Amino acid sequence: MSGSIELKDGVHWVGAIDWNVREFHGYSTSRGTTYNAYLIRGDKTALVDTVKAEFFPEMISKIESLIDPAEIDYLVVNHVEMDHSGALPLLMERTPRAQIVATDNGVKGLTRHYRKDWPSLKVRTGNEISLGGKTLQFLEAYMLHWPDSMFTYVKEDRVLLPNDGFGQHYASYQRFDDEIDHLEIVMEEAAKYFANILMPLAPLIPPLLKKVEKMGLQIDMIAPSHGIIWRSHLGKIIQAYTDWSTGVVQDRALIIYDSMWGSTEAMARAIAQGMSRAGLENKLIHLRKNHYSDIVKEILTAKVLVIGSPTLNEGVFPSVAHLLSYLKGLHPLKKKGVAFGSYGWSGEAIKVVEAEMKAMGIEILEPGLEVVYVPGEEELQQCMDLGERIAAGL
């Protein structure tokens, strides 16, 4: 169990590392995660966010290494989701004078989750709490990513605590971006986090970043509630959030498919070959060999999605249906696409895939390409030609 870590004088990380979580409400977390809680000490003391309930012992021991938990005056709840508020019921028993600080939706959400009437202070954007020597300022972040979400800013230390924002599911001994040898892995996890959690809410992010600018918040450090704390690569993560939230995509194609007996797969490979010949970077993604939460991370920055499905029981293959349903809820931005697939006798899948892609705002480049049973040489050539046409049209 690692100890508390000082971010700035009087600002400490007192969270927990979850090395073993591999699944987070359906999202695969192959690198684990952390639940970051922050203790801020002026004349008074505040704890910003807590941890998942089972990690309460880790958090409380870190707090106890710094102060008596009974001295905590404020428990700031930036977000009600239980990976951050789960330890509150246990903590409330150890903090008799503490008052919850949250948005109006936050207080309502906590009441619905824990059925307790805890003493609470509701805050709005711009409200401040002085701890004596430290000032906490609040910024509502409605729907980023729950109605209760808010950011807390420690004025004197220029530290922004944006909860899930800028976070990554990444367990590590290190706490800061400049301590990490392979920052690209952290960026990859930040992209996966954005794609799976924030993508459907992306249009709300640029106005919020503008609001931060308008409020004149000078930021030296961004300390999210998952993963690594940003202090040396702030520009990199802020630029990434700006790009991801405005749909900046690269000239890259993903050929995402499943296959019953190899025909749709043969089509996928031929499409990829055509794209490669025409110089378009592309990746083949078999739906039963990749987790859908990893696939949407790839989708975040790709311009072209070519989605293939065999027809099964007059519909799409189950893995394709799963992806389409998940992706529809994420509202991907600025994508172009084509459907393809093989069928035996009815051939509904291609039409369903195309309709679903249209429904989620993907620009359909041309009608879907379908093959009966096994593609012959001529049909594989058509697939290659499709790949070349997609590449040429970008």
Contact footprint for ligand FEO (CB under 6 A): 79, 81, 83-84, 145, 164, 225-226
379: helix, coil or strand?
helix
Q: Is 366 a catalytic residue?
A: no
Q: How far is the CB of 192 from ligand FEO (least distance, A)?
A: 13
Q: Is 193 a catalytic residue?
A: yes
Q: Is 164 a catalytic residue?
A: yes
H/E element holding 5? Answer: strand 5-8
Q: Cβ contacts of residue 73 below 8 Å, gap of 6+?
A: 44, 45, 46, 97, 98, 99, 131
Our CB check for ligand FEO shows the closer of 225 and 309 to be 225
Residue 228 CA to residue 383 CA, distance in Å, equals 44
Q: Is 83 a catalytic residue?
A: yes
Our CB check for ligand FEO shows the closer of 194 and 340 to be 194
Which of the following is catalytic: 38, 153, 193, 257? 193
Q: How far is the CB of 287 from ligand FEO (least distance, A)?
A: 26
Which of the following is catalytic: 18, 58, 81, 370? 81
Residues linked to residue 34 through DSSP beta bridges, in sequence order: 17
Q: How far is the CB of 366 from ligand FEO (least distance, A)?
A: 39
Q: How far is the CB of 169 from ligand FEO (least distance, A)?
A: 9
Q: Cβ contacts of residue 184 below 8 Å, gap of 6+?
A: none
Our CB check for ligand FEO shows the closer of 169 and 233 to be 169
Our CB check for ligand FEO shows the closer of 227 and 337 to be 227
The closest residue (CB) to ligand FEO is 81
Enter the tokens of residue 28.
């695969």
Our CB check for ligand FEO shows the closer of 55 and 317 to be 55
Q: Is 233 a catalytic residue?
A: no
Which of the following is catalytic: 49, 140, 148, 164? 164
Which of the following is catalytic: 84, 169, 226, 233? 226
Q: Cβ contacts of residue 354 below 8 Å, gap of 6+?
A: 339, 364, 367, 368
252 to each of 45, 46, 192, 258, how far by Cα in Å?
Answer: 50, 46, 17, 20
Which of the following is catalytic: 25, 93, 117, 173? 25
Q: How far is the CB of 79 from ligand FEO (least distance, A)?
A: 5
Q: Is 81 a catalytic residue?
A: yes
Number of neighbours of residue 234 by Cβ within 10 angstroms: 16
Between the two ends of the chain, the Cα-to-Cα distance in Å is 51
Active site residues: 25, 79, 81, 83, 145, 164, 193, 226
